[in-house]
Amino acid sequence: MRRLRFLLALIIVLAMSLTAFAHPGKLDKNGGHYDKETGEYHYHKGPNALESLEIRRNTVYRAKVERIVDGDTIIVSFIFDDGSKYLKERVRMLGVDTPETVHPTKPVQYYGKEASNFTKEHLTDKTIWLQTDVGVKDRYDRMLAYVWLKEPSKKDLDDEAAIRKNMFNAQLLLGGYAQLMTVQPNSRYSNIFVHFQREARQEKRGLWGKDPE
C-alpha cells in the first residue's frame, strides 16, 4: 500500500513538471517546448526543427519557394517567426492537375511547358502561404496544400473573390493551365474550382483554347 502511494505521488509530480514546461506561448532557448497534452518535447524552429515539424490539417504555413518541379509541384522551406527556416518539403497543389513535364514514364504533355513556365514566373523565390485540408500528405509523402500569394485572413479562406485573386491553385484553373482534380477527403474548394474550370473552358483559355496537335 505504501509503495502504491509512492508511485501515485511520483506520477503527480511528473505530471506537474510537464505542465510547468508546457507551451502554448514562449519557446525555450532551443526553439522547442513540451506538449501539454502528450508531454513530448517538440522543436518549432532552429536547426532541429527538420526532425519534428508536424504538418497539421486545416492550417496555414508561411514558406519560401526554393524550386519549381512542374506546374503543380514545388519545393519549399518553412519560415518561422524569427526568420529561421525548416529545410525542404515537396508540395503538391490541391484540386488541380497540370499536364506532365517531368514524369519518368510519360512524355511531355500538351500545354505542360506553358503550365510549368506560368508557375515559375509567379512562384520562383516567392514567399507564399500553404493551406492544408483534411489530408496533409499523399502516398508519395508530398505535402498537399492550397498555395496563397498573400497571407489569407480567416474571411479570405471562405471568400470566392479572395480565392480567385490570391490563391495560385485557382489561378492555374482560371488561366487554363490545369484541370480540376479532386481527391477525397481534400475537397474544401471543389465547388468553387468547378466554376473556375467551367469559366476557363467557356473562354477557351490555355489548354482549352485548341485541340492538341
Residues 7 and 70 in one domain: no
Dist CA 146 CA 139 (whole Å): 18
Residue 200 lies in a domain: yes
Q: What is the pLDDT of residue 211?
A: 59
Q: What is the pLDDT of residue 101?
A: 84
Residues 10 and 78 in one domain: no
| Amino acid (one-letter) located at 132 | T
Q: What is the pLDDT of residue 107?
A: 79
| Residue ranges making up the domain that contains 15 | 1-44
Residue 213 lies in a domain: no
Q: What is the pLDDT of residue 179?
A: 97
Q: What is the pLDDT of residue 71?
A: 96
What's the pTM? 0.74
- Please name the residue that has the C-alpha cell 526543427: 49
Residues 20 and 117 in one domain: no
Residue 49 lies in a domain: no
> So which residues are the catalytic ones?
92, 100, 142
Residues 112 and 144 in one domain: yes
Residue 73 lies in a domain: yes
Residue 36 lies in a domain: yes
Residues 6 and 67 in one domain: no
Give the residue from 87, 78, 81, 67 showing the smallest Cα distance to 132: 78
Q: What is the pLDDT of residue 102?
A: 74
Residues 141 and 115 in one domain: yes
What are residue 49's DSSP bridge partners?
Answer: none
Tens of pLDDT, residues 165-213 = 999 999 999 999 999 999 999 999 999 999 999 999 999 999 999 754 4
Residues 6+ apart with CB under 8 A from 104: none
Residue 190 lies in a domain: yes
- Contact status, residue 177 vs residue 115, Cβ threshold 8 Å: yes
Residues 203 and 177 in one domain: yes
Residue 58 lies in a domain: yes
Residues 35 and 68 in one domain: no
* pLDDT tens for each residue of the chain, 213 residues long: 666 565 555 554 444 443 333 334 455 544 555 555 545 444 454 444 444 467 899 999 999 999 999 999 999 998 877 666 666 789 999 999 999 887 777 777 889 899 999 999 999 999 999 999 999 999 999 999 999 999 999 999 999 999 999 999 999 999 999 999 999 999 999 999 999 999 999 999 999 997 544
Q: What is the pLDDT of residue 41?
A: 44
Give me the CATH number covering residue 58: 2.40.50.90
Give the residue from 141, 135, 133 showing the smallest Cα distance to 193: 133
Q: What is the pLDDT of residue 148?
A: 98
Strands 95-97 and 85-93: unpaired
Residues 38 and 139 in one domain: no
Residues 106 and 158 in one domain: yes
Residue 69 lies in a domain: yes
- Contact status, residue 86 vs residue 130, Cβ threshold 8 Å: no
Residues 102 and 151 in one domain: yes
Tell me how many domains the chain contains. Answer: 2
- Contact status, residue 13 vs residue 50, Cβ threshold 8 Å: no
Residues 87 and 33 in one domain: no
